[in-house]
Each structure stands twice: as structure tokens, then as C-alpha cells.
Amino acid sequence: MKETGRVLTIIALLLVIAFTAGPGSVSARPVGETYKQSADGLAKEFDSFLKAYHKGDDTGMEQAFSVFRIPNAKQWFAEHFSAEDAARLGAAYGQKTTDAMNSLIEDMNQAGAGNKYSLHCEARGDVPPSGKEDAAHPVQPIRVEQFVMEFQASSTRQKFLFIANFVYVDGAYRFVGGGGGPFWGKM
């Protein structure tokens, strides 16, 4: 009887701690920094990448750009697409994000290699579900947001636009395709 009372006391104490610790403190939190779901939040996500670019740090750029990859992408695709589509999309996703990073670096090099860049992001709104009829289609709605990003080189003052689509997952925007819509609408 005393043992049951002790267990109930411990459970009650744990519940009090859980409820007074604040919302979200007991659930799993995303690892790393979280960003606002806004144009300013997206611009903030680029800070580390832009700093690494200015330093010419290739490894740093790759590490910094990883914030734009969906964490546990294989699981995320499995939750949002049929098993067949999830396998196809999961296999292609890594290359899609690498291609986006390389395209961005190429644009930055053309506007002024080694420059510091300022960035202004503007939301264009949600991307409606579309794509080829035989393309992969989510089994549940996915909010895809499109942004126009204006990069400006500090010394040359040259500007270029980069249009991309993102999903907001675990406190950050994650790249899912260029301006034409999410990449799964083209596969």
C-alpha cells in the first residue's frame, strides 16, 4: 500500500512539473535554432550560408545550407505521400537540394564572387497543388510557400532574384523546389 502511494506521489510530481514547465517543453523540440515562419525568418536562415560564402568556406556553405533540408526526409515523405511516391521522392530529394545550393552559388559568383550579400525575402503566397497528372501527389494537403529572394552583392551592387518553394517543418523553412512549384509536381 505504501509503495502505491509513493508511485502516485511521483506521478503527481511529474505531472506538476510537466504542466508548469510551459507549453512545448515536454514534447520533442527540433534540434538547432528555430526561425519565424515569415520572410524575415527565411532571411535569417540564410545568414550562416552567406557568411560561409563570403569566407569562401565550401564546407561551411554545405553545412549551413543543410538547414533547408527536411529533417528525416524519408519519414516526412512517407507521412505525406503514397509508399511508392515516398520512396521515389526521398531518393531524389537530396540531389534537388544540392542542385539548388549549387545554382544559388553560381548566381552569387556571377554577381560578384566573394562578396558579402544582403538579402531581402518577399512572400509570394502559397503554391496551389498542381503538376503533371502522373506526378506524385500528396495524400494530405501540404502547405508550400513561395518566396522571391533578392540578393545584392555589397561591392558590385549587382542584384539577382532567386525564387523557391518551401515547407515549414520543425521550426524552419525547408526547400522543396524552384519557382515552378514543388519538385514532386514534376516527377
Asked whether the predicted pLDDT for residue 3 surpasses 60, the reply is no
Residue 179 in any domain: the answer is yes
Residue 22 in any domain: the answer is no
d(CA 65, CA 69): 8
Residue 16 in any domain: the answer is no
Q: What's the structural domain count of the chain?
A: 1
d(CA 124, CA 45): 18
pTM score above 0.75: yes
| 143-181: pLDDT as tens digits | 999 999 999 999 989 999 999 999 999 999 999 999 889
**pLDDT recorded at residue 31:** 52
Asked if residue 153 lies in contact with residue 109, where contact means CB atoms within 8 angstroms, the answer is no
Q: For 173, which DSSP code?
A: E
Residue 21 in any domain: the answer is no
Domain of residue 50: give its range: 36-186
Residue 119 in any domain: the answer is yes
Residue 12 in any domain: the answer is no
| 27-81: pLDDT as tens digits | 233 357 899 999 999 999 999 999 999 999 999 999 999 999 999 999 999 999 9
**pLDDT recorded at residue 27:** 29
